[in-house]
């Protein structure tokens, strides 16, 4: 993004022009950013990547627009999928079955069948699922999702390791898992763990890595170890980027040491979601209203938590710009949406819902940053409001990659009453 003549530009186009051409609200993605985030992360693990011992499995739950999936495939990403339709979509976008790793949770038998029929490798995270799988698919290769007993994340709901998390086989039950696998002639070729999301410091990732490596020693047929996703991005203006390069170095060194002791050059898998797509995405919206109470100056908009739920759901901070007047004098306002709920705030900041924004009038175009991950993919039609369009921008060109929904889309799956 850049500022020209007091206006915000994305991919070489002014936000206002994008709004004129594609309507509001609108998701906008910068293609260059998608590609560069992917290249950056691969570079951090270059040593392993050069030896084809690193696979970045994009966690497509963060953003499953087919055009974005295709761009990331061009950049060498593979896929972390969590549902049969994610698998189907990845296959339809050209990913080969062996490039997809299915990590379900509370996985239904039909989901296992679907993956096996399509040749997609499975990562199994419960003893019962493992037993069921073994009975039906004896002789297969599998990997195990392990809960190493530690977790981290930007919000309690986003911590996926530790005794309060439903994910993975708890580390003290791994012997049972091995017995089950043996009984059904399953080969455990991988160990996976994902301790949480929005992690902004290397320590929890390295700590979890240590614990996983200790567990991995007990498995003799491993081909890979998968350390999951979780790489955080800076959402706040004052936040420095996490030094992923240093983290990559540290993880690689530790991994190579392990492989030496293990006696084989294993592959490392990672499952980044947010890091690859978060910074590339922007939610563009329009100011429809102004009002004030004794406490707040409200700026009302034509979008809401049905389009970007992170501020409401986790209290997550996202930068907000007045794209129509980037450098004008500031005022303190609460930016809210058009959903009929009081918690429909965009300008959340740890309990404070007001922030400084260049003076806003009705008709201004606002842009919410870092909305590329868990933005559109978590959107809904709540209040019977359709989802917005998505546009990809690059070098002053914009391409519609998903049209906005219409009234008929809201009714597409309903049955008419007599």
Any contact of residue 274 with ligand LLP (CB under 6 A)? yes
Of residues 44, 115, 259, 340, which has the active-site annotation?
A: 340
Sole window of 46-54, 269-277, 325-333, 401-409 interacting with ligand LLP (rule: CB under 6 A): 269-277
Identify the three-state secondary structure at position 273. Answer: coil
Q: Of 257, 347, 250, 260, whose CA–CA distance to 301 is shortest?
A: 347
**54 near 270, Cβ under 8 Å?**
yes
Q: Where are the alpha helices (DSSP H) in 121-238?
A: 127-136, 174-183, 202-216
Sole window of 88-96, 255-263, 272-280, 410-418 interacting with ligand LLP (rule: CB under 6 A): 272-280
First to last CA, the chain: 52
Q: Which of residues 140-169 bind ligand LLP (CB under 6 A)?
A: 158, 160
Q: Which is nearer to ligand LLP, 158 or 334 (CB)?
A: 158
Q: Which is nearer to ligand LLP, 180 or 373 (CB)?
A: 373
Tokens for 386?
A: 């359709």
Instruction: Give catalytic status of residue 259 as yes or no.
Output: no
**144 near 212, Cβ under 8 Å?**
no
* Residue from 272, 279, 304, 358 binding ligand LLP (CB under 6 A): 272
Give the Cβ contact number of residue 262 at 10 Å: 17
Q: What ranges make up the beta strands (E) of 6-74? A: 7-10, 13-14, 26-30, 54-59
Place of tokens 């800076």: 234
Q: Which is nearer to ligand LLP, 62 or 212 (CB)?
A: 62
Q: Which of residues 196-255 bind ligand LLP (CB under 6 A)?
A: 197-198, 228-231
Any contact of residue 59 with ligand LLP (CB under 6 A)? yes
Q: Of 309, 277, 314, 308, whose CA–CA distance to 80 is shortest?
A: 277
Sole window of 10-18, 192-200, 297-305, 383-391 interacting with ligand LLP (rule: CB under 6 A): 192-200
Closest distance of CB 370 from ligand LLP, Å = 10
Given the rule CB under 6 A, which residues bind ligand LLP?
Answer: 59, 62, 80, 103, 158, 160, 194, 197-198, 228-231, 271-275, 310, 373-374, 378
Catalytic residue positions? 340
């Amino acid at each position: 993004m850049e500022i020209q003549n007091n206006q915000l530009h994305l991919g070489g186009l002014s936000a206002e022009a994008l709004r004129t051409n594609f309507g509001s609200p609108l998701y906008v993605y910068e293609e260059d950013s998608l590609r560069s985030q992917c290249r950056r992360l691969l570079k951090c693990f270059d040593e392993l990547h050069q030896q084809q011992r690193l696979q970045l499995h994009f966690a497509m739950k963060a953003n499953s627009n087919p055009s974005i999936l295709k761009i990331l495939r061009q950049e060498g990403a593979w896929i972390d999928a969590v549902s049969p339709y994610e698998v189907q979509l990845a296959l339809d976008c050209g990913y080969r079955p062996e490039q997809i790793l299915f990590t379900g949770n509370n996985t239904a038998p039909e989901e296992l069948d679907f993956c096996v029929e399509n040749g997609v490798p499975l990562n199994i995270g419960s003893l019962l699922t493992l037993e069921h799988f073994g009975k039906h698919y004896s002789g297969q290769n599998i990997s195990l999702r392990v809960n190493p007993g530690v977790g981290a994340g930007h919000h309690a709901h986003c911590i996926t390791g530790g005794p309060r998390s439903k994910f993975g086989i708890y580390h003290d039950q791994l012997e049972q898992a091995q017995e089950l696998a043996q009984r059904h002639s399953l080969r455990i070729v991988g160990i996976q763990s994902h301790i949480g999301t929005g992690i902004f410091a290397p320590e929890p990732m390295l700590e979890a890595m240590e614990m996983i490596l200790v567990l991995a020693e007990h498995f003799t047929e491993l081909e890979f170890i998968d350390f999951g996703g979780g790489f955080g991005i800076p959402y706040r203006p004052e936040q420095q980027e996490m030094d992923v390069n240093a983290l990559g170095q540290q993880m690689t060194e530790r991994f190579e040491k392990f492989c030496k002791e293990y006696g084989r050059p294993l592959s490392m898998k990672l499952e980044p979601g947010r890091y690859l797509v978060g910074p590339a995405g922007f939610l563009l919206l329009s100011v429809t209203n102004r009002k004030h109470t004794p406490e707040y100056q409200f700026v009302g908009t034509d979008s809401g938590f049905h389009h970007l739920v992170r501020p409401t759901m986790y209290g997550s901070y996202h930068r907000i710009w007045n794209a129509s007047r980037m450098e004008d004098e500031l005022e303190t306002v609460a930016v809210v949406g058009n959903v009929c709920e009081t918690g429909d705030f965009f300008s959340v900041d740890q309990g404070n819902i007001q922030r400084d924004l260049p003076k806003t009038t009705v008709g201004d175009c606002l842009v919410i940053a870092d909305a590329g991950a868990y933005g559109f993919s978590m959107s809904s039609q709540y209040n019977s409001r359709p989802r917005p369009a998505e546009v990809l921008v690059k070098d002053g060109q914009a391409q519609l990659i998903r049209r906005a929904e219409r009234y008929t889309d809201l009714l597409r799956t309903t049955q008419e009453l007599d």
